[in-house]
Amino acid sequence: AVTRLERDEHGGVRGVAFTDAAGDEHVALAHNVVLATGGYAAARGPDSLLAEHRPDLLALATTNGRWATGDGVRLAATAGGGTVDLDQVQVHPTAFVRRIDAASASVRVSPPADAADGHRTLCAEILRGVGGVLLDQRGERFGDELDTREAVVARMLARTAELRRADAAADERAVRADEFVLLVGARAANATTHVSLYGHKSLLATFDTLAEVAAWMSVDAATLRATLAAADADRAAHMAPLLDDAPFHVGVVAPALHYTMGGVRIDTAGRVLQGDSDDAVPGLWAIGEVSGGVHGRNRLGGNSLTECVVYGLAAANAIDMSSSSSSSSSSSTATELGAMASDVAARKTRSVTASELAEHNSAESCWVTVHGQVYDLTDFADEHPGGRESILEFAGADGTARFDTVHPKDMLDDFDPIGPIVN
């Protein structure tokens, strides 16, 4: 883990100090340091950036990985880097809050496996895009599901407050006042990958009839039919009818922290800017969600690619790679890193037996086979956007079939295998 930025006598950044797995500190010197540490929507403690700038959001869960703690923003600040829009945090309308079962008499089966520490699995926009509707605990619709995320969330929070004012026992119903049901019909076939993944994780349940959905929600079937009929009439110009579009897929969702538009101030090449000035911090760059100001108040779906790819390329093109450090510290570090790389390479060359694979079947040591290669995913599990349980489910086993339902095979190019699995 990086502990600080190394600076020269002029205030420029010239490397980083970091600790290894054993806790020993090292220094890696470089002419340029690029921050790509992500946002800060996963840290909600008293000293977090959210507590400082958006304390009103601290009670919400997050869809972010556990690394999104704002460390990069704070590192930049130690070198004089400025910040912008730290109060601009996007809340996504739909994150799954319950594992459910169509055979259960109650909505309340259990929270998702990643919920204990406030993390939730995102329910992707595509399920609303193919016609899904959001319903409250009464089985009533309360707005346009395809509005901006900010607008949809505002209506959800307003409906929660309304339900609680009207009913003191609102949070004791099958669906709580702060929970909502996403219902989508057979057109979910246009989002097969998502439905398959969410269904396997018991985040979506499937019902053959609307009456079964109503019974599961503990709402009047006639009310639910009237709700969908009204939705069909409202959306007739751009959506196929939902009322009789069986089977029906349902999930229980709620708003969750999703993206931080604020971050470190940068110029058009990704250089970190000092304070409120247009002067750059020498040797320091920021790309991706750690940077701020690109999106303003609202990030459209998919547009984080602007920060990651566009500014990543801009920074890569602007950084002068022609020179290298000649310091002894840098040379020593290079030697250490070279030895570490050689060690990793050596470890990759061996085969793994099925019995050895089976021994690494826990969160502490998680090996998974994908397309005949064994990968150590112990550290990656906590970073997996789909939640660590999706990885740990296949610890010590073959996860190829599940991998193929969600990912292209070339994604494996980003991971170094331990080696091939042998019988």
The beta-carbon contacts of 190-198 under 8 Å, at least 24 apart in sequence, are 190/126, 190/130, 191/124, 191/126, 191/127, 191/129, 191/130, 193/405, 193/406, 194/124, 194/126, 194/127, 195/127, 195/249, 196/405, 197/386, 197/390, 197/405, 197/406, 198/96, 198/121, 198/123, 198/251
> How many C-beta atoms lie closer than 10 Å to residue 363's C-beta?
13
Maximum distance among all alpha carbons in the chain? 78
Q: Which residue has the tokens 């080696």?
A: 419
Q: What does the alpha-carbon distance between residue 137 and residue 5 come to, in Å, rounded to a whole number? A: 51
From the DSSP assignment, how many helices (H) and strands (E) are in the chain? 13, 18
Q: Which of 31, 128, 258, 271 is catalytic?
A: 128
Could you confirm whether 92 is annotated as catalytic?
A: yes
> How many C-beta atoms lie closer than 10 Å to residue 179's C-beta?
20
Q: What does the alpha-carbon distance between residue 85 and residue 88 come to, in Å, rounded to a whole number? A: 5
Q: What does the alpha-carbon distance between residue 51 and residue 416 come to, in Å, rounded to a whole number? A: 38
Q: What does the alpha-carbon distance between residue 93 and residue 208 come to, in Å, rounded to a whole number? A: 26
Got the DSSP string for 149-210?
HHHHHHHHHHHHHHHHHH-TTGGGSSS-TT-EEEEE-GGGGGGHHHHHHHHHTTSSEEESSH
Rg (CA), the chain: 24
> How many C-beta atoms lie closer than 10 Å to residue 106's C-beta?
10
Q: Which of 7, 44, 53, 92 is catalytic?
A: 92
Q: Which of 36, 20, 27, 119 is nearest to 73 (CA)?
A: 36
Q: Which residue has the tokens 């250490």?
A: 336
First to last CA, the chain: 38
Could you confirm whether 108 is annotated as catalytic?
A: no
What does the block give as tokens for 82?
Answer: 């400025």
Catalytic residue positions, numbered? 92, 128
